[in-house]
């Protein structure tokens, strides 16, 4: 597979750098948002379709002229280019489902390691959790790419190699689209379950160190650049690489270091549910590109992700928080009533004791003394 193009007047490599820099900037802004707004709202803001925008841009500039000779650019998008773009975008939802599993590891592995190794410092626990979770993610992602390349069609038909777009859903992309839709549903269900009983997510009381923020942005930039470059080898690998959990990892680690486990654990559920906005962006992009072009597709897909994923996620999580708060308040009121009842009982006993003490001398005086 060869690269299909780049920005006008700009080489493909420079286009990749531009996409990576944009992704890094967005990643930095998301870190600040999570720190500023707390675990729930910050977690949802951290999952809006942001870094997928430069990734999809890289896929588009790479695939749009797929199959055309270098001296021919009379088509804005070929059928082969659309097929590869759709395969990459519909590989994002399976990657996001892997991220749901990855975030569950971050919720429970710290507890496991802390209990198993109570003398370990925080840094060692974090390193152990990170190493375990990221290795499992890489192993599962590699297996997923292998399965999709082996059992899901990865080539375009000869008739569509250099021709214009004639089918929105080509025979070569039906299976990847079905996989993407199915894993999107699974991701939403897992997110709903994870957000049903989320831990408290107070706002951060301290700031994330600037160095951590810069490293986070750099990692995001490298991940997006890597996904675009991987797409030259396999459209499936490029799409799954978009979901590489750089933002999730740095979100949890940075907030844990700066603000404690409460904020980071509280952001995990919202991050899982909010990631549905990314999958919605990928789905809308898959179907909208031929008719809207890349610019129009980006706008429509972004708002579809926010309104269809981020906003409902926030409302759902706020509802679950209010239910949990009401239960907690009811429990506190019930406990207060129980304590008051206990105080009343002890108060009555104290009154009886006082009466007994006051009558005891009189009773003693009434008892005849032995002469």
What span, in angstroms and rounded, lies between the C-alpha atoms of 177 and 187?
A: 15
Strand partners, 78: 164
Contacts of 148 (CB under 8 A, 6+ apart): 91, 94, 154, 176, 179, 236
pTM: 0.79
Task: Note every long-range contact of 355-359, with CB atoms under 8 Å and residues 24 or more positions apart, other chains counting.
Answer: none
Q: What is the pLDDT along the chain (371 residues), one digit of tens a residue?
A: 444 555 555 677 888 888 899 888 887 887 777 667 765 666 566 668 888 999 999 899 888 888 776 666 656 788 888 889 999 999 999 999 999 899 888 888 888 998 999 999 988 988 999 999 999 999 999 999 999 888 776 554 444 456 777 778 877 788 888 999 999 999 999 888 888 876 665 555 566 678 878 887 898 899 899 998 998 888 899 999 999 988 788 777 766 776 666 556 666 777 788 888 999 999 999 999 999 999 999 999 999 999 999 888 888 888 888 888 888 777 666 666 666 665 555 555 555 555 555 655 554 455 555 44
What span, in angstroms and rounded, lies between the C-alpha atoms of 265 and 55?
A: 28
Q: Write the burial class of residue 172 (CB in 10 Å: 0-12 exposed, 13-18 middle, 19+ buried).
A: buried
Give the residue extent of every domain in the chain. 12-317
């Amino acid at each position: 597979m060869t690269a299909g193009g780049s920005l006008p007047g700009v080489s493909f490599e420079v286009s990749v750098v531009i996409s990576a820099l944009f992704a890094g900037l967005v990643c930095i802004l998301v870190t600040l948002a999570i720190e500023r707004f707390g675990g729930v709202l910050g977690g949802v803001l951290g999952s809006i379709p942001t870094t997928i925008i430069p990734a999809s841009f890289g896929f588009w500039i790479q695939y749009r002229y797929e199959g055309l000779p270098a001296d021919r650019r009379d088509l804005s998008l070929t059928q082969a280019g659309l097929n590869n773009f759709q395969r990459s975008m519909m590989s994002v939802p399976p990657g996001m489902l892997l991220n749901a599993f990855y975030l569950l590891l971050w919720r429970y592995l710290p507890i496991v390691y802390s209990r198993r190794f109570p003398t370990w410092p925080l840094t060692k626990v974090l390193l152990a959790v990170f190493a375990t979770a990221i290795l499992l993610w890489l192993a599962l992602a590699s297996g997923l790419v292998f399965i999709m390349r082996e059992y899901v069609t990865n080539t375009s038909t000869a008739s569509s190699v250099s021709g214009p777009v004639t089918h929105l859903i080509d025979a070569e992309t039906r299976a990847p689209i079905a996989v993407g839709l199915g894993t999107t549903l699974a991701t939403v269900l897992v997110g709903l379950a994870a957000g049903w009983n989320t831990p408290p997510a107070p706002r951060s009381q301290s700031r994330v160190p600037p160095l951590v923020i810069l490293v986070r942005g750099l990692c995001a930039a490298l991940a997006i650049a890597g996904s675009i470059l991987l797409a030259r080898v396999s459209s499936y690998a490029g799409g799954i690489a978009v979901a590489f959990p750089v933002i999730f990892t740095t979100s949890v680690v940075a907030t844990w270091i700066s603000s404690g486990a409460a904020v980071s654990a509280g952001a995990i559920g919202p991050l899982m549910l909010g990631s549905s906005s990314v999958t919605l962006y990928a789905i809308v992009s898959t179907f909208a590109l031929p008719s809207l072009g890349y610019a129009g597709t980006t706008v429509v897909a972004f708002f579809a992700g926010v309104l269809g994923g981020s906003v409902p996620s926030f409302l759902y999580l706020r509802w679950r928080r209010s239910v949990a708060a009401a239960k907690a308040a009811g429990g506190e009121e019930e406990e207060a009533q129980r304590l008051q009842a206990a105080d009343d009982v002890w108060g009555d006993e104290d009154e009886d004791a006082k009466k007994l003490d006051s009558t005891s001398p009189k009773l003693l005086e009434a008892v005849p003394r032995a002469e």
